[in-house]
Structure 1
Amino acid sequence: MKYRLISLIIIIAIVAGSTDIQAQSVLDSDVEAQPPKDTHQPNILLLVADDLGYGDLGSYGSNINTPNLDQLADEGLRFSRFYTASICAPSRAMLLSGNDNHVAGMGSQFRNTEYWGYEGHLTDRIATIPQLLKQAGYQTYMTGKWHLGTGEGQLPPSKGFDRSFVLHQGAANHYNNTGLSQSYSTADYSVDGQPVSWPEDGYSTQVYTDSMMKYINEYKDSDKPFFAYAAYTSPHWPLQVENSFWQKYEGDFDQGYEKLRKQRLASLKEAGMVTDGHELPPLHDEVRQWEKLNPQEKEREARKMELYAGMVDNLDHHIGRLIRMLKDIGEYEKTVIVFMSDNGAAGEDFYNDPRDDFLQSKYDNSLENMGSPTSFVSYGPPWAEAGSAPFRYFKGYTYEGGIVAPMIIRAPTMKRRGEIYDGFVTLTDLAPTFYEIAGISYPDSLNGSPIRPLVGTSLTPVLQDKVKTASSDNSWVMERSGRVLVRKDDWKLVKPPGSEWGDKTNFELYNLAQDPSEKHNVKDKHPEKFQELFEEWEEYKKENKVREMF
């Protein structure tokens, strides 16, 4: 690897914050740290936003104020076709392993079983980024959302992190440890694997950011580089943020979600993120027309989006604090920054779920209380459709709106700055990118146990040269809980949710070059291509022991 790549430091954004919690560092006993192999190894700071929509950054065309992330885009590279899984935990498993979510143990987000691929935690079939970077001499830190197993040996200290302050589950109140249901009434947190309470008066984004800044500051005089993974829980529901952040957006969304969706399409085109010929797909069936809402409903809906915008604004603010600290301690120009979302915009609304009245019994969603610690607001399918514009649907679906997310990479010595990369990229490409930049090779085994090969491809050529695509075959297969996609070149096979598992006729075929909105199912016009991709799905299903029951 050339020196200019070795000197990079990568940051991928996930929301982090502040805490006074003290704990002893718990080192991973399974991975022995080694001296750095190269004194010029970069720091790596990985920042991930939770449920951020494709068009929600200023640099992607949004009206939401994100100056710090926009500056990273000006200094780096925006990705217009960055693929994730369709939901949180499988994305995080693939991100940290560079491998398939079944191989990593997260074939389903909601089940912990004895079945291969559905263990509900990271398995020994993979090596994590912090494990391998730690072996190469890195300090490794994590703050924020873990969501990859809570049992013995499953938390961050056992997966390579020297220091960690994490939420074990997938979501919680941003101000306290209240959970989401009768069965999950209290959220769990730990520092270096040891249980802790949520700090009084702490807000998630600030707490996680402050914790990460503390870890980096504590070891800033070390001769070791760092890998820092900040997994923010913002702007994931519940939509909660202090008034000063959301009130600046009062009135900005009174026109409704359908007009915002059209505005986002136009601004995405102006920003160069989609082509001029891109059209909006039909709205999801659950979306009511804005004109059919009464004045009170419109006021409440507009407030939801104001809160969401405030959370994104707040997230950018705290990422800015982290960036300023890196500059103050002389690490910014040694750092590559990668910011991403873990999936498409979120359309869930658990507060109004008729199967569980827990949230309604605990929270007050009256208009005057929306956004406070005692409210539990989700913006639901209508605003998610605007957030995922210009694509079809949102989080949970394997249509483009659920799996194409924003990503920015900024590195001090990269050649490409202020540009947009339109090639096909997946989150499994990030682990091999980090390894190449750090100058280490991926092993065949870890601690005496064989591990699966990486499935991704390093993006370092993309950062330095104007290559058309980073992947040799431009293909990917992904499944989560019966929702399937097979991507090969411009073709995409999709199995919609709710369709019969074994019925081949339920699958759909799209040509994304001609139809990026996935409006026209062309499997009858291209039976040979449909069969080709379906056979790839069948092979994947066998290789990864995909189970219909999940």
Structure 2
Amino acid sequence: MKEEKRPNIILFLADDMGFSDIGCYGSEIPTPSIDRMAACGLRYTQMYSNARCCPSRASLLTGLYPHQAGVGHMTGNIGIPEYQGYLNENCLTLAEGLKNCGYRTGMVGKWHVGGEYGHREEAGSIAGQEGYPTPLQRGFDRFYGTLEGAGNYYNPVTLTEDGKWLSVKPSEDFYYTEKIAEKSCEYIRQFSGGGNPYFLYVAFNAPHWPLHAREKDIREREGSYLCGWDEIRRQRYRRQVEMGLVRDIWDMSPRDAESPDWDSMEEKDWEDIKMAVYAAQVMEMDRAVGQIMEAVQDTGEEEDTVFLFLSDNGACAEELPPDGWVMNFAEGMTLDGRTVAVGNQTRKRPGGEDTYISYGLPWANVSNTPFRLFKHWIHEGGIASPFVVQWKKGIREKGVLRHTPVHFIDIFPTLLELAGGRYPDKKGDKTLIPLQGESLAVSFAGNVEEGREWERERPIYWEHEGNCGVRLGKYKLVRKYPGPFELYDMDRDRTELHDIAAEEKETADRLKGLFYDWMQNTKVRDWDEVLAWMKQNG
């Protein structure tokens, strides 16, 4: 009997992109490449991240909760193993697991699970730093990208390829999203043919701040947002209901309390251009996705390739200050010697290398339509991610929605099953923590029974900076630190507007018990304890 060909796998990850920011999830932003992917495959309406870049990436790459992988907070090492800020040796990465199955492996883009490398002039040798693993030390054959988070799209810090630091030359017409597409296509051509399948992890920096985009794309969207954030939210919500992504019994969350009324804004042109640049960044990412998928088509392997697209957390409401921590991610001068205007107070037209700003809370509220809150928090606005899957050979249904709650921890067991692999008990002399997710392969294949979807067995848990929660069936228990726990019936109220913790106290108490058991088993520390530890240890 002829052995079934194992599929190639390409995993796309957006950065800080909200639930509604692509066309097939209700956006007005043109994203034809991702929309085509959705039309050929599946869209999941309840995919969950961990509300922040590094913890989400840790779960995506390991199939574990972030604390189990060593990235319980961010990339700083606070002296507690679960919060060391880089992937530990008690986890296996997707690249390592698929490499064990004979896959060739490549990564292009943002790593951000290896600790704090600093600027290139401070970092010294990359590969030799104890405790600061790069993709090459964690199973990837090839790597081009940035090691830390965020950064100038025209001159990113910590840019490397295959273990060597890279510098952008002033004469280069460099733009990071375009370079990610170029390098991804190069790796696809290198990996294609030869018998063995490949895994390519494409981790975009877009549309994370700063607002950097090509001027031609900015001009295409400029003026589109003069109707204001309230109207854009209403338009997106209507499209989501029409698409079946959102149930009309879920009221759209009200405009965030910190977002002013659009009519009260004096500088509407300034607000319009910020959102136009953000939209341009999403468009440029979609264009890169299209170029990468076209490269696969050119090799004749599209039918046998699984494409997956997600975002690492909800939209980001951060307002950038004029100095301080932002410059850890960026150079203070442009390549041609101009000073970079940092911070949202500058009122300088964004998009170019000489600016460094974000689009702010009101537009992030739009990106997370119809949900409330943002990146950092465990309410739906912080954790709800689009999830699109195309696999022409393995997914029979086209343009179909899946409504079962799923999580980043489910990606590893899913892809390992598709690759015909087995998760080992050990890596060398290190005992591995078992995978925490559940395979979605049966969900890819079709309904378990006519009219029914695959249903997960295990609860989903979260904790980030004291914001925490658990999802079991239709119920979600959630807490915004340092407030009380809230309980929501997600079948009736996924926009989390009607807290039923007092009405269904028994359910709330049962979920609290599950959560605290998980905390103990996973060695999650109380956030007040972590803050005290950080203060004591500098």
The TM-score, its normalising length taken from structure 2, stands at 0.89
> d(CA) in 2 for partners of 1:63 and 1:318?
19
Match status 1:493 vs 2:471 = no
> d(CA) in 2 for partners of 1:224 and 1:131?
15
Match of 1:427 in 2: 408
Match of 2:40 in 1: 75
Match status 1:348 vs 2:318 = yes
1:473 to partner: Cα distance: 2.4
Letter aligned with residue 479 of structure 2: K
Match of 1:43 in 2: 8
Residue-by-residue CA offset, 1:1-50 (whole Å, 9 max, x unaligned)? x99xxxxxxxxxxxxxxxxxxxxxxxxxxxxxxxxxx6712111111111
Going from structure 1 to structure 2, the CA distance change for 1:367 and 1:220 (only over 3 Å counts) comes to same
Letter aligned with residue 252 of structure 1: S
Unmatched tracts of structure 1, length 5 or more: 4-37, 178-186, 500-505
CA contact under 8 A between 2:340 and 2:353: conserved in structure 1? Answer: no
1:201 to partner: Cα distance: 2.6
Letter aligned with residue 279 of structure 1: D
Match of 2:485 in 1: 507
1:316 to partner: Cα distance: 0.9
Work out which of the residue numbers 284, 309, 334 in structure 2 matches 1:339: 309
Q: Give the match's secondary structure for 2:242.
A: helix
Q: Structure 1 residues 347-356 or 300-309, which shifts more?
A: 347-356
Match of 1:12 in 2: none
Match status 1:473 vs 2:457 = yes
1:196 to partner: Cα distance: 2.0
Match of 1:122 in 2: 87
CA contact under 8 A between 1:344 and 1:401: conserved in structure 2? Answer: yes
Letter aligned with residue 443 of structure 2: V
1:507 to partner: Cα distance: 1.5
Going from structure 1 to structure 2, the CA distance change for 1:326 and 1:356 (only over 3 Å counts) comes to closer
Q: Structure 1 residues 85-94 or 323-332, which shifts more?
A: 323-332
1:392 to partner: Cα distance: 1.4
Residue-by-residue CA offset, 1:382-403 (whole Å, 9 max, x unaligned)? 0111110111112111000110
Q: Structure 1 residues 98-107 or 209-218, which shifts more?
A: 209-218
Q: Give the match's secondary structure for 2:202.
A: strand
Letter aligned with residue 485 of structure 1: G
1:368 to partner: Cα distance: 5.6
Match status 1:282 vs 2:263 = no
> d(CA) in 2 for partners of 1:356 and 1:336?
36
Match of 2:340 in 1: 362
Going from structure 1 to structure 2, the CA distance change for 1:355 and 1:220 (only over 3 Å counts) comes to closer
1:222 to partner: Cα distance: 2.4
Letter aligned with residue 432 of structure 2: I
1:437-448 aligned at under 5 Å gives the runs 437-448=418-429
Letter aligned with residue 461 of structure 1: V
> d(CA) in 1 for partners of 2:49 and 2:453?
17
> d(CA) in 2 for partners of 1:367 and 1:333?
48
Work out which of the residue numbers 499, 503, 510 in structure 2 matches 1:525: 503
> d(CA) in 2 for partners of 1:380 and 1:268?
23
CA contact under 8 A between 1:145 and 1:170: conserved in structure 2? Answer: yes
Letter aligned with residue 411 of structure 1: W
1:198-237 aligned at under 5 Å gives the runs 198=168, 200-237=172-209
CA contact under 8 A between 1:138 and 1:224: conserved in structure 2? Answer: yes
1:170-209 aligned at under 5 Å gives the runs 170-177=149-156, 187-198=157-168, 200-209=172-181
Q: Give the match's secondary structure for 1:351.
A: coil
Match status 1:411 vs 2:391 = yes
Match status 1:256 vs 2:228 = yes
Q: Structure 1 residues 392-401 or 276-285, which shifts more?
A: 276-285
Match status 1:160 vs 2:125 = no
CA contact under 8 A between 1:280 and 1:390: conserved in structure 2? Answer: yes
> d(CA) in 2 for partners of 1:211 and 1:356?
27
Pairwise CA RMSD: 2.0
Letter aligned with residue 243 of structure 2: A
Going from structure 1 to structure 2, the CA distance change for 1:357 and 1:209 (only over 3 Å counts) comes to closer
1:367 to partner: Cα distance: 5.1
1:355 to partner: Cα distance: 7.9
CA contact under 8 A between 1:84 and 1:91: conserved in structure 2? Answer: yes
Letter aligned with residue 429 of structure 1: D
Q: Give the match's secondary structure for 2:356.
A: coil
Q: Structure 1 residues 367-376 or 118-127, which shifts more?
A: 367-376
Letter aligned with residue 482 of structure 1: G
Match of 2:435 in 1: 454
Going from structure 1 to structure 2, the CA distance change for 1:455 and 1:472 (only over 3 Å counts) comes to same
> d(CA) in 2 for partners of 1:528 and 1:476?
19
Match of 2:520 in 1: 542
Letter aligned with residue 125 of structure 1: N
> d(CA) in 1 for partners of 2:447 and 2:55?
31
Match of 2:118 in 1: none
1:318 to partner: Cα distance: 1.3
Letter aligned with residue 492 of structure 1: K
Work out which of the residue numbers 440, 444, 448 in structure 2 matches 1:463: 444
Going from structure 1 to structure 2, the CA distance change for 1:353 and 1:543 (only over 3 Å counts) comes to farther
1:193 to partner: Cα distance: 2.4
1:257 to partner: Cα distance: 0.8
Q: Structure 1 residues 207-216 or 434-443, which shifts more?
A: 207-216
> d(CA) in 2 for partners of 1:239 and 1:266?
27
Match of 1:378 in 2: 358
1:377 to partner: Cα distance: 2.3
The TM-score, its normalising length taken from structure 1, stands at 0.87
CA contact under 8 A between 2:404 and 2:456: conserved in structure 1? Answer: no
Q: Give the match's secondary structure for 1:517.
A: coil
> d(CA) in 2 for partners of 1:535 and 1:469?
28
Going from structure 1 to structure 2, the CA distance change for 1:447 and 1:110 (only over 3 Å counts) comes to closer
CA contact under 8 A between 2:75 and 2:114: conserved in structure 1? Answer: no
> d(CA) in 2 for partners of 1:142 and 1:231?
8
> d(CA) in 2 for partners of 1:233 and 1:466?
35
1:427 to partner: Cα distance: 1.0
CA contact under 8 A between 1:124 and 1:449: conserved in structure 2? Answer: yes
> d(CA) in 2 for partners of 1:416 and 1:382?
37
Match of 2:265 in 1: 293
Going from structure 1 to structure 2, the CA distance change for 1:354 and 1:144 (only over 3 Å counts) comes to closer
Going from structure 1 to structure 2, the CA distance change for 1:259 and 1:517 (only over 3 Å counts) comes to same
> d(CA) in 1 for partners of 2:459 and 2:105?
32
1:104-119 aligned at under 5 Å gives the runs 104-119=69-84
Letter aligned with residue 167 of structure 2: S
> d(CA) in 2 for partners of 1:493 and 1:339?
27
> d(CA) in 2 for partners of 1:331 and 1:480?
40
Q: Give the match's secondary structure for 2:321.
A: helix
Q: Give the match's secondary structure for 1:117.
A: helix
**Residue identity (%):** 34
Going from structure 1 to structure 2, the CA distance change for 1:113 and 1:372 (only over 3 Å counts) comes to same
Match of 2:60 in 1: 95
